[in-house]
């Protein structure tokens, strides 16, 4: 299986939506041993360890830093 590629500032979709039901998308706001994501609807912040985040990630919707990587 291919590793999922994501970076700080990317918009991602998780397997389960946030309970607020305003938006199914999240922005990655912190990366390290833990990953912190922010709901695009209500602004709630959720923290996962990297293993748990990788299990719950469905797909990357929008890459913020594509133009920087050459």
Share of the chain above pLDDT 70, in %: 86
Tokens of 42: 């209500």
Comparison of pLDDT for 6 and 66, the residue scoring more = 6
pTM: 0.82
Q: What's the confidence (pLDDT) of residue 5?
A: 86
Per-residue pLDDT band at 65 (split at 50, 70, 90):
low
The pLDDT of residue 30 is 94
Cα–Cα dist 6/55, whole Å = 13
Three-state SS at 54: helix
């Amino acid at each position: 299986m291919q590793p999922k590629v994501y970076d700080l500032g990317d918009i991602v979709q998780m397997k389960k939506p946030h309970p607020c039901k305003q938006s199914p998308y999240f922005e990655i706001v912190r990366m390290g041993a833990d990953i912190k994501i922010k709901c695009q609807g209500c602004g709630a912040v959720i923290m996962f360890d990297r293993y748990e985040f990788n299990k719950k990630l469905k797909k990357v919707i929008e890459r913020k830093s594509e133009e920087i990587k050459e």
